[in-house]
Amino acid sequence: MTSFIAPHCISAYVIRQTSDGPLYLLIRRCGSYLPGTWQMVTGGILDGETAAQAALREIQEETSLTPTKLYCADAVETFYMQSQDKITFVPVFIAFVDTMDVRLAPSEHDAFVWLSFEEAKQRLVWAEQKRVLTQIHESCVLKAPDDLLLAKMDSPPVLQSTVIRTGVYGIALQEEKLLLVKQRTGLHVGKFDLPGGGIEAKETVEEALRREFLEEVGMTFDSMQLLDNLTATTEGLHENGNPFVLHQIGLIYLINDLSPLQRATPEMDYFWIDPKQLCTTTISPFVEQMLLRIPFLATKTIRTQPNDYAPLRSD
């Protein structure tokens, strides 16, 4: 009886043929898992993808390169993953490219280098990767790879991912005006939002809110009181064009006794605004919900079009 093992991740060696010989692309990991390690392109296989489709997607996501040809390397990397106490089998692919214009995904890798075979073999850490690299170099680079190994270059399916983000936000009032910041990046760029943001690893809720207030408005506060928790769901696109759904969970606090810690800078794009002057086209989903739910701000209706009201910047 024949048995099969479904792979869950891939490895792809990106190669550029030059007049001085083949060059192999290595990228350096950043983050918490094996930081500083040089490697080829790796990644998981998503539901509905073939291994070849996953290799093509990961190459594009991690390097912005599009292979001219993609081959199965006729090799499988095997290694013991100590953190999960499991043996991993990884199908290997070879990607030939006609450009060296790499743009990394900064959340995963922070540097890249094009190396000769000997240099790449020396730079790699793991013996299994060195073995596979040698096999690829001898059987598919020094001589033409067999056409039977040519992988299908069909596009991977467009899969919508879900991102869940928990943040903390503050309501600060001054003479019946609300402190808001104008978003410069993200899904709500150009819109007014509450000061605040995501809670980082090892931060308490209070530490996160104090950090966000210092970064966004240069201020601190005496105390904070939980008012409500809000949720908002927004659709967007990743840098690679794939769609995602962002589900935000926001803890909303009333800020007491706000005081400046440093002089405002141009990067601190904040304003004191009369809530009655806000409209749905210029505020984030959190601000819109807050205006309808928080008792001392609640209003039955919100403008749908802006007027000529000029928000007040307080430096």
Is 50 exceeded by the pLDDT of residue 157? yes
Question: Which residues sit opposite 229 in a β-bridge?
Answer: 251
- Per-residue confidence at 55, pLDDT binned at 50, 70, 90? very high
- Per-residue confidence at 315, pLDDT binned at 50, 70, 90? very low
Of the listed ranges 94-98, 205-209, 262-266, the least confidently predicted one is 262-266
**Portion of the chain with pLDDT greater than 90, in percent:** 54
Q: Are 187 and 248 in contact (CB under 8 A)?
A: no
- Per-residue confidence at 152, pLDDT binned at 50, 70, 90? confident
Closest CA to 183 of 193, 171, 172, 170: 193
The pLDDT tens digits of the residues spanning 79-94 come to: 887 877 888 899 999 9
Instruction: Report the pLDDT averaged over residues 126-146.
Output: 94
Distance CA 69, CA 275 (A): 57
- The radius of gyration of the chain from alpha carbons, rounded to an integer in Å, stands at 26
Instruction: Report the pLDDT averaged over residues 121-126.
Output: 95
Is 60 exceeded by the pLDDT of residue 62? yes
Q: Are 235 and 152 in contact (CB under 8 A)?
A: no
Q: 144 Cβ partners below 8 Å, 6+ apart? A: none
Of the listed ranges 42-51, 149-158, 173-182, 241-250, the least confidently predicted one is 149-158
Q: 75 Cβ partners below 8 Å, 6+ apart? A: 92, 132, 135, 136
Residue 238: per-residue pLDDT: 67
Which sign, positive or negative, has the C-alpha torsion 202, 204, 208, 214? negative
Q: Are 294 and 171 in contact (CB under 8 A)?
A: yes
The β-bridge relationship of strands 177-182 and 243-260 is unpaired
The pLDDT tens digits of the residues spanning 207-236 come to: 999 999 999 999 999 999 999 999 988 887
Mean pLDDT of the chain: 86
